[in-house]
Structure 1
Amino acid sequence: MASCVVYVDELLLTNTLMNFLVLYLTGRLAGLAFSVWRLLLAALLGFLYILILFTPSGAYLYNLVGKVLVSLLMLWLAFGFMPWRRFLVVGLIFYGISLALGGVVYGVSFFFHGHPEGEKLTYRFFLPGLLATVLLAIVLGRVGTRLHRRVGEGFFHVPCRLWLANRSLELTALVDTGNQLLDPASGYPVMIVDYAVLEPHLPEEFRSWLRESGSSDPTSFASWSWSDPRWLTRIRLIPFRSLGVSGGLLVGIKPDAVEVWYRGKGVKTSKVVVGIYGDRLSPEGTYQALLPPGLIEPLFRVKEGES
C-alpha cells in the first residue's frame, strides 16, 4: 500500500502563501480596501481547511460545497461585508485568480524540473513556481491598482452640476452601483452629497436646523421657524441602511435639477433628491457625491441609438 509523508511546516508555508497572494490580487484587481492582517487571517483559514482534510473524518468536507463555503468565508474575513452583487463579482475574480496562479505554479515548476520521479512532489519541486507567482503577484498588484484607478477616474468618476434655489455648484460624483436609495414620497433616486459642499449654498436657518436638530431628530424640521417656507417644502427624510449606519433617516433636499456629463454628453433631470452626508465620502477628496447609476443610463441609450 502506497504511503505519503506530509510535512506540516511545508504545507503551512506553501498553502498560506498561495492563499495570501490570491486574496491580495483579488483585492487589488477589485479595487477593495484591505488589511494585511485580515488577508493573513483569511489565508490561515484556508490552510486549516486543508489540514482538517488529513484527519479521519476530514474527507467528508473535501467536496464542492465545502470548498465554496470556505472560500466565501475567506473573502468575508479578508474584505468584510459588501453588497451581494459586488461580492459575487469579487468571488468570480477570486476563483479566476486561483486557477491562474495554480497554473503558473505547476507550469513553471514542471518547466524547470520536468516530470518528477514516481509520485513524489515536495515544496522544493514547486519552489520555482512559487517564486514566479510571488513576482507575478507584485507586478499584477501594481498594475491592478493603476488600472482600477484609471477605470474609476475615467468611468465611475463623472462631473455634474447641481442647481439649488437659483444657485449652481459643480462637483465630481462617483457612480455607485450599490446606491439604491429612493425617496419614499416621490420614488426619485437619491444622490448622496457631502454637507461641506452644500453648506455655502444653504440658507443660515437650514444650517442652524441641521446643527441643532437635524442630526439628533431629523423629524423636527416641521416645528422649526422658517422665514422662507419654500425650504420647508424641499426637505425629505430618506430611510437607509448604509453609510456606516445599520438604519436610520437621512436628511435630503429637493434640488431644482442635476446635470451629469459622460464623454462629452450630458443629461439633466429634476427627478432626483440630494441626500446630505455629514462626513467626507472620499478621504482623498477625489469625489464629493455618490451618484445612482440610473441617472446616467439615458447617456448610454443615446450612445447606442447613435451607433
Structure 2
Amino acid sequence: MTIYADVIWLLNLGIDTLLLMLTAFFLKRDPSRWRLCLGALFASSYVWFILFPVGAMMLHPLMKVLFSAVIVLIVFGFYGFRRFIQAWFMFYFVNFAVAGGLFAVHFLLSNETHVVNGVMTTQMTGFGSPVSWLFLFVGFPLLAWFTKARMEDTQMNKVNYEQLVQVEIMIGQERWEYKGFIDSGNSCKDPMTNRPVMMIDMMRVADSFPKDVVHFARSVQEMEEVSHGEVPPFWLRRMRLVPFRTIGDTHSMMAAFKPDLVVIKNDGEIRETSNVLIGFVFTDLSATGEYQCLLHPKMMQNARISTIDTERKQEGFT
C-alpha cells in the first residue's frame, strides 16, 4: 500500500491547530499567530519522525511527554512554572476530551474492518481515514462548540462573585479607574447584541465624563423628553439604549456605551475584554462608597487573561 505522508501530515496539521486553538481558548490566553503556527507545525512533525529509524524512540511514553511539553512551550511560552503546568495539563485535557471523542465516533461510523477466510482484516488508504477528514471540517468544530458550552457552565460556577476588583475603562484616549464589585445578581444585557452591561454609579463619578453625555444619560433614565443633539458624535456612535430594572422593581432605560477595552485586576491576575457595554446609572450602587461600578458575572467568563507582556503595557495600572 502506498502511503501519502504529505496528505497524512496535512490532516494532522489541521487537527493539531484546532486542538491548540481550543487549549488557548480554555486558558483565556491569546498566543500570537506565529507561535500557534509554529507549535502546530512542530506537533504535526511527529508524523515524519515515525517514518524514520528514530521513530521507535519517539514511541516511548517519556518521549511523548517531552514532545508535548515542547509544544506547550512553543505556543504559550514560559511565564512561570505554575502557568506552564496549567497550560500543559489543559493541553492534555483538550486532547483527551475532544480527540478522544473523535476517535470513538471514528470507529463507530467507519467500516474498515472485514473478515476474510476467518481472518479479521482492516482496509486502509494512504490518504488517512475519510472519517477523519470529515470530522476535521464538520465534526471537530461541532465537538469543540459542545465542549466550549460545557466549560462555560463550569467556569461560571467557579467564579467568586462576592469580591472587589480594580477596573480600568478605556474609551478613545480617555481612561477611568474604579473599584468594581462582581455582582451575581446583575443580569443586565443589551437585548440587541447580548453583550453584558457593567453599571457605573454616576452619582459619584459623573464629573469624570462629558457634561452633555451625563445630562443625556440622566434624562434617559428619568424618562424625560430627550434630545441627543448635544451629545458629541464620538459618544453617540458608541451609545445603546438598554432596558433595566431599578430598585423598587421600576422599569426604566439606561444609556450605555461601547468601550475600547475594560481591564479587570484581581488577585494578581489581569483580564481584558471589549465585549461589554458601560451603563450610566444615577442610583447609589454602594451605600458606603466602597465601589463605583457593578460588574456583570459574564464579564469574568468572557475576559481573556493578559500575558506578562500585556501587563507591562498597561501604563499606570500596577
Q: TM-score band (shorter)?
A: 0.3 to 0.5
TM-score, length-scaled by structure 2: 0.46
TM-score, length-scaled by structure 1: 0.47
